[in-house]
Structure 1
Amino acid sequence: MPDRNQSALDFLLTRRSRPAKTLTGPAPDRAALVPILTAAARSPDHGKLEPWRFIVLEQGAMARLAQLVGTRGAALKEQPEQIAKAQSAFSDSPLAVVVVSAPVASPKVPEIEQRYSAGAVCLALLNAALASGWGANWLSGWPSHDRQFLTEGLGLKGHETVAGIIHIGTETSAPPERPRPDVSAITTWVAI
């Protein structure tokens, strides 16, 4: 039997995202955030292409983006409650890290695998923040799919998209446990 890291396994078996609306300050400062980003950057990356990058949104940026959500939501004729929900994700959160999917031209690694890698970075970032004692949640929402919001608000290039926005802060209340998938119902064993 291989050596088992029981603490890590216990963490993964009990991990639970914290709803972004329950997060408040303080958020990790830059020194506390660097190890979390470093852990996330260790995600699988076929070809060592690094087809993703981080944008750390601190308080001032969060307020600016909340305003832009209002402007873009009105221009897109989004429902007022959807605009308000998306605005509050930015205005109420103390800090967020945008994981940008930035595929690289490669004859060996298809773009879809590079996008999967960016998704793996999101989960690793979420888990690293939780393991560090912070509350964290992976969100996206309609603004993260609006090209003008991405360009004007985040400075993304034409080939870049948002894989996820990880909100990080101090948890104000522990969420209740929720039902989990029945592993036996979603697993197929193939022996031959």
Structure 2
Amino acid sequence: MDALTLLLTRQSTPRLIAPAPTDEQLKNILDAGARVPDHAGLTPWEFIIATGDGLERLGAIFAKASQLNGAEEELIAKTKNMPLRAPMVITVIAKVKQHPKVPEFEQHLAAGCAAMAMQQAAFAQGLGAIWRTGALAFDRNVHQSLSLDATDQIVGFLYLGTAALKANIKPTKAGSNFARYI
């Protein structure tokens, strides 16, 4: 698939099954994430990969955070199983560094670009992927369990695997509908 077709037909694939990306596919995914615009070469990101038992550990982190926040048992059980919706989950984190010319916001955007590039690299290799966030991305208990610094921010959980079914292509939105000239 050429790059323009990939960009114009990009669509999340929420139903994912094994197999997970191969080592070579994962290398390409991670390398794509590290190739995004990066003002001053700060590399303001980190990628935490969960597969196999790591998915269970990530689920336990989610469940513990839900429990500490006073969630009902049903929600605690649901959050525990969330990482099991795919054979691989990559937590993408903005690792903010102090810099006189690169504001925190720009570093968060760079980490977001890394998540998007990683998702596109998965699609380009015939894999399925969905970028999820939700309350757990902002939960300080989750951050602490993942040994994140106080200035770090999870920008998303990238679920990766093989598409369980071919998704219907959503209607195209004309970008010109959101543009104006000055």
Relative distance call for 1:140 and 1:82 in structure 2 (3 A) is farther
Q: Give the partner amino acid of 1:26.
A: P
What are the within-5 Å matches in structure 2 for residues 60-71 of structure 1? 60-71=53-64
Residue 32 (structure 2) aligns with: 39
- The SS at the match of 1:42 is coil
1:94-129: CA deviation from partner (whole Å, max 9, x where unpaired):
101111100111011111111111111110011011
How far apart, CA to CA, are the structure 1 residues paired with 2:77 and 2:8? Answer: 34
- Given that 1:86 and 1:141 are in contact with CA atoms closer than 8 Å, whether structure 2 keeps it comes out as no
TM-score by length of 1: 0.87
1:173 corresponds to 2:168: no
User: Over aligned residues, Cα RMSD in angstroms?
Assistant: 1.8
1:160 aligns with one of 152, 156, 165? 152
Relative distance call for 1:83 and 1:186 in structure 2 (3 A) is farther
Unaligned 5+ runs, structure 1: 1-5
Residue 179 (structure 2) aligns with: 187
Indicate the percent of aligned positions where both proteins have the same amino acid. Answer: 34
- Given that 1:28 and 1:169 are in contact with CA atoms closer than 8 Å, whether structure 2 keeps it comes out as yes
What are the within-5 Å matches in structure 2 for residues 83-94 of structure 1? 83-94=76-87
What are the within-5 Å matches in structure 2 for residues 1-192 of structure 1? 7-19=2-14, 22-79=15-72, 82-152=75-145, 154-190=146-182
TM-score by length of 2: 0.91
How many residues in Structure 1 have an aligned counterpart in Structure 2?
182
1:111-169: CA deviation from partner (whole Å, max 9, x where unpaired):
111111111111001101111111111012222211111211x2212211101111110
- Given that 2:48 and 2:90 are in contact with CA atoms closer than 8 Å, whether structure 1 keeps it comes out as yes
- The SS at the match of 1:55 is strand
- Bigger CA radius of gyration: 1
How far apart, CA to CA, are the structure 1 residues paired with 2:141 and 2:124? Answer: 34
